[in-house]
Each structure stands twice: as C-alpha cells, then as structure tokens.
Copies of this chain bind each other. A is one copy, B any other.
C-alpha cells in the first residue's frame, strides 16, 4: 500500500462519525512488537519517544533524532501494513527541525506524526525529576504549518498540548489545541496525567472544535477504550505497554535462569518458540526446535 494511501485511510477513519469504537493504536518499538500488535488486531502502531529512547539507551529528553525514528518505522513496515503514527516530541524545537522530522518520517513510510508544545529540551510528561515547561503557542503553530507545507496530505498531523501536564488550566489547554487545529493539525491530543481519568472526561466535554480528539491513557489505565470512546475520543494510543510487558517478561526469564542455571523446559513455558521468532521476519519459516 502506498504510504500516502495509508495517511488517507487513517484520516478517513479518524473523521468517520459513524464509528462507535475508537481506533486503537499501540506502541511498537521494533518488528517483534509490531507483529504482536498486528496479531492482536490493533488498528495502528505508535512509535513512542519514550520507548525508542529506552530501547536506544537514551534519556527521553530530545536526544532522539529523525534517523532513530525512521529506522523504527522502516522495521515496522516490513511486517505489517498498519498505519504508523510517530511521536516526534517537540520536533527538535524549531521550524527547520520539524521540516526534517516530517520529511524523513514520511519517506520512511509513516502515516502520521504527533508534534507537541513542550519546551525544548523536553522532559517526559510523567517525569518528576525535571520541570515541565511549555513552548510558545506560536512555535507549535509554525511547526504544524511547516510540516503541512512539506508533506501535503502525505501525513496525518496530530498536535499535542502538554498544557495540563505543565499545570495550566483546561481553558488554556483547549485554546492551545484549537490554535493548533486552526494551524492545520488533523487531530489534537490534550495530554493528561490525572490517574482518576476525570480530567480525560472533562477534555471530551470541553472540546467542541470539529477535529478529532486523541487520548494517551497511560496515567489512567482504568478507563477502557469503550469508555474513552463515549467520552469523545476517536483514537486511543497505548503508548508504552508492550515495552513494559517485554521488560517484565525478560526480567522473569532472566531471574528463572539465574535460579536454575538453564532455560530448560520448566522455564520454557514463559518463552515463545524459536520458530515463532523466525517467523516474525519470514512468515514461511519452519524450525526443527
């Protein structure tokens, strides 16, 4: 499927008012995760700044560049046709860096990018060891406009505001999101860390602009996708759960090995087969193990 077709399909699905259930995207840091996501029936993949940073051994602090993300997109595209939405953080904090991110990621086969208004250098939304600060609203508007100019309709552009994360009130968050929609974003994401999920519901009630709403419910996992759909969200992004599951699974296996001195059968229950691993990159592969 040509890539601009992917963007077109994703835009259409986001804009489809007849959908009852939100689209479901899940973070995939490599083809293994993409394979799992496709098996499980997700609608889209998310390339997460936090997940790719962790996989690269880097802090989630604007240290990733377009090539780090492009490589991930290329890997995902080899095993599934699912549209890929790329978290480009604040896109390097300038208009010119935003242009490169957008061009490179469209090239790599992404269907969408998500750009946010954290101040450069950014800090993970849930980090408490550094302060959260916002960039000028106009900077993100400029970045959205420049991205649009570079990619045309070739990418869905999601604009994300960190206003609530940084302690601003709902009116400010809504005003920022509206400005980004006016600047050309196809969808908006008002990020929240309210664990109760009340803030998420409030965002849904407060949003009256036509462009679709996106949610990343990392902080409020008890709200189900269906509930988020009822609250007004058209796309739910599960940003880092697969990496967290992988981390937990690898830790458990390593612990068992250290205890028993082998990965023998009793351990093997928690390991996928060698053939399963081979089939991620070559579906017709058969293993003698």
Contacts and interface: CB of A to CB of B under 8 A. Distances in A.
Interface of A: 2-4, 26, 29-37, 39-42, 50-51, 53-63, 65-68, 71, 74-79, 92-94, 96-97, 100, 103-104, 107-109, 120-121, 124, 126-129, 154, 193, 195, 217-219, 221-226, 238, 240-255, 257-258, 260-265, 267-268, 270-278, 280-282, 284-289
What are the 10 A-B residue pairs with the smallest beta carbon separation, nearest first?
Answer: A249-B249, A57-B78, A65-B65, A31-B57, A59-B282, A245-B253, A246-B246, A40-B254, A224-B261, A244-B271
Contacts of A276: 244, 247
A262 to B, nearest CB: 4
A281 B58 contact: yes
Contacts of A270: 245, 248-249
Given A37-B254, A129-B284, A96 B63 contact: yes
A21 to B, nearest CB: 9
**Secondary structure at chain A's binding surface: helix, strand, loop or mixed?**
helix
